[in-house]
Chain A
């Protein structure tokens, strides 16, 4: 900004010289000084330097780093502008229209002179015009994100390198760059434009001076593939070139490799459609793959082993889960016990109910007259959900939707196992079997669990967590009682 802007009497014409491009800092400094000096918009002439002019006219070069004489920062205080004004200015400064500075200053002038809410009135002609400029800038940024086309330059030090040439309409390089940084962190890339350059190398973003069209390398097969894709994606029966031009204006075509296909695609469209219609009466090929079609219906796993193979090969639906811990026990038993999920030890060994809770369960089962070999043991969730804490793996309760991810498997599993009675150990098992959350302490006892005759009781880990010994003993006795009751029910069934 030129020093002259801030001094002199309000009646003088002030000239403000700004750097090429957006020059937010220069504009901000100038506006602060002009408002402080009460210079009306009509008395200000704004000028932007050319792309190759590092210095301003009149010798007041590069003042942005240090305030010049007469505009010490104390003299031109920061303006408290409404957020809507700041947001609008941010975008409009990127516009290529030389009038943008004057229009913005007029807006700010009016806002500081009693029209505080001005930017919130989209019907005001000035706000409307600035709004359209902001929209054009947003659109140009969006189109840059869409239409930059990278060319591969090979791999250096293990990082792929890409180069693009793009011609934006407005000064949007800085505003558009973060998108590319976020999207392509693992490759090095450079985008050259007539307004400036941006590059990403070894995770550092850097801007450079305006560039001219480089000689771009030939395509490396992917570009040809892209052209083939583009041509195939076009449906000649729906040609609508004006719609295409609205969204992809011709000004962008020179830098879009696929655009060179457009004339031929449109020219050939009517003939292709005519040919399609002519071919319509063609008789279908005699293909009647009855066997294959019939075989489609038999895709479901045909045995528990086949189902277990599927479960073992599938990814975990919970965080942690190194392997699927499958159910074990005889087919068609009197009882199947369904727990919550494998714990640390179960995950290590790949078998259900071998950890502390499992050992307690075995003890209680023995007291109730049940042997491990006689019952089928499984879990609602097949993987160990945990978070690592140092060397330990802390158990995490599965959420309702995680439990439901596993439901289909549990249902199918019990279809194969066909127990007389299913015992749900705790709320997670009940949720998996019924699809609903049940209050275990209140609804404990015999009940239907989904398609199965069932019995609801607590999970043995609940007993381990009870702090008081007397409560623990009582709860344990009740648990043994439940197992015995379930056994009796299953024998009577």
Chain B
């Protein structure tokens, strides 16, 4: 790997890092032939962590950061002064294999700026994936960004090579998308997601391999005035309507060469964190968007406490619940108890009546949970209804962000 290539890698990795997704999960187990390379595991592996605490699982790069689009929130938009570079198909293949053989990565996440035309760009990206699979027997993870403006037959091909496909909805509100990303079009984004979902579902039923790890998307939060409730409403629609595996939230952060139409201030990272927690409540804890939103104010989540605790504090009439008698659904709603802890509680209480010490062994959130739980040896009594319960459970205020 020479200096020029390394410089390009620096530019095109820098350009790709604003996409939050890096997961290598969800692919069903696959392994290389005798003379090939690579495997996928269900969980995925994070091979490193950058000092921002984010996982490095895939080689996340753009094929090029030249782009004809002019999306205000994107560092690579055509009117940005950012430094540009372009990889050849062979270069991406060589770097992916070189990194993979040294066990730096789980695979490739390839995206690109739009050059010449969406079809041309998408074909180049697919060529990378196809070469890796066909010429090098590569069985590692491949995540391809699908370009919704590309012709539909290209999406059909992408799923043959990729484990995961994604199209970014970018902004929860179609109006904001129109304002900030003039070349993008919400209906065509949805149409592409619908096409991918249909094919993924059919192929799974037929036991064919077509994007076996499903599809995901990303929304930027804080670049417009959309509320958390509206963001979550969009997510719920995407999970329900398009069978998405994940919706990623990316707090708008200052980018070099920012556009003038964007807010100067970064969205707090905690907002992104709370949205992820709320997203989990939607998918695994049986909460509705309205219930989650009710925990905050004006459609925005409480930034200081987690959304389940926020909901619990406003619905104290439903607590305390008896940890030795309540059903799974009720336990999942107890602040501090995660889905794993609930499974452990259900297993353990078949054999014993659970005490507060037992709960401490089964859950790491016992400090929050105890105000909402009756155990064999403890009743929270008035604790549940104390006016200062929120203050007692909220973590002391501290500076989480560099820019608050």
Contact = CB atoms under 8 A, between A and B. Distances in A.
Interface string B291-335: 000000000000000000000000000000000000000000000
B391 interface: no
Contacts of B101: 150, 152, 160, 162, 184, 187
B254 A221 contact: no
A226 B104 contact: yes
Nearest to B117: A299
Contact of B46 (A151, A229, A247, A408): A247
B17 A123 contact: no
Nearest to A164: B103
Interface stretch (B226-234, B240-248, B256-264, B278-286): B256-264
Interface string A284-314: 1101010011011011100000000010001
A151 B101 CA distance: 9
B184 to A, nearest CB: 12
Interface string B24-68: 000000011111111101000111111111111001110000001
A443 B103 CA distance: 57
B345 to A, nearest CB: 8
Interface in B131-190: 137, 149-153, 156-157, 160, 183
B202 interface: yes
Contacts of B257: 279, 282, 284
B347 A232 contact: no
Contacts of A147: 47-48
Interface in B9-32: 9-11, 13-14, 17-18, 31-32
Interface in B82-111: 95, 98-99, 101-104
Contact of A241 (B47, B53, B114, B153): B53
Interface stretch (A13-21, A33-41, A396-404, A459-467): A396-404
A238 B362 contact: no
B51 A262 contact: yes
A256 B103 contact: no
Given A182-B39, A225-B98, A280-B264, 19 more contacts: A124-B348, A142-B45, A179-B39, A183-B38, A186-B35, A221-B2, A222-B99, A228-B9, A229-B99, A234-B51, A235-B52, A238-B52, A248-B49, A258-B48, A273-B254, A284-B80, A296-B118, A315-B130, A404-B198
B73 interface: no
Interface string B194-220: 000011001100101010000000000
B68 A296 contact: yes
B51 A269 contact: yes
A237 B202 contact: no
| Chain B interface size, under 10 / 10 to 19 / 20 to 34 / 35 or more | 35 or more
B119 interface: yes
A120 interface: yes
B1 to A, nearest CB: 4
A237 B348 contact: no
B208 A401 contact: yes
Nearest to B40: A183
A134 to B, nearest CB: 14
B266 interface: yes
B387 interface: no
B35 to A, nearest CB: 5
A448 interface: no
Contacts of A78: none
A296 B51 CA distance: 39
Most buried by B among A146, A203, A223, A262: A146
B339 interface: no
A370 B348 CA distance: 77
A125 B10 contact: no
Interface string A134-163: 000000001001111111100000001010
Contacts of A229: 9-10, 13, 59, 61, 99
Most buried by B among A147, A229, A248: A229
Given A266-B51, A401-B203, A186 B254 contact: no
Contact of A240 (B53, B61, B117): B53
Nearest to B46: A146
Interface in A178-229: 179, 182-187, 203, 220-226, 228-229
A187 B117 CA distance: 39
- A184, A220, A238: residue with the most chain B Cβ atoms closer than 10 Å: A238
B399 interface: no
Contact of B17 (A164, A232, A239, A240): A232
B367 interface: no
B13 A232 contact: yes
> Which 3 A-B pairs have CB atoms at the shortest separation, nearest pair first?
A243-B53, A401-B202, A221-B1
17 contacts: A120-B347, A122-B361, A123-B351, A146-B48, A147-B47, A182-B31, A182-B39, A183-B37, A233-B50, A235-B52, A237-B266, A244-B52, A273-B402, A276-B254, A285-B81, A293-B68, A317-B156
Contact of A237 (B79, B253, B354): B253
B4 to A, nearest CB: 11
B-side interface mostly = loop
A234 B103 contact: no
Contacts of B47: 146-147
A226 B61 CA distance: 12
A145 B10 contact: no
Nearest to A266: B51
B78 interface: yes
B392 interface: no
A400 B202 contact: yes
Interface in A115-131: 117, 120-125, 128
A416 B258 CA distance: 45
B386 interface: no
A277 interface: yes
A201 B32 CA distance: 16
Contacts of B46: 146, 247
Given A242-B53, A269-B51, A237 B254 contact: yes
A228 B18 CA distance: 17
B385 interface: no
B355 to A, nearest CB: 8
B352 interface: yes
Contacts of A231: 10
A295 B358 contact: no
A152 B255 CA distance: 37
Give the residue among B6, B34, B36, B150 with the most A Cβ atoms within 10 A.
B6
Given A225-B1, A317-B156, A203 B34 contact: yes
B102 A122 contact: no
A93 to B, nearest CB: 22
A270 interface: yes
Contacts of B10: 228-229, 231-232
A72 B120 CA distance: 73
Contacts of A125: 361
Contacts of B117: 295-296, 298-299
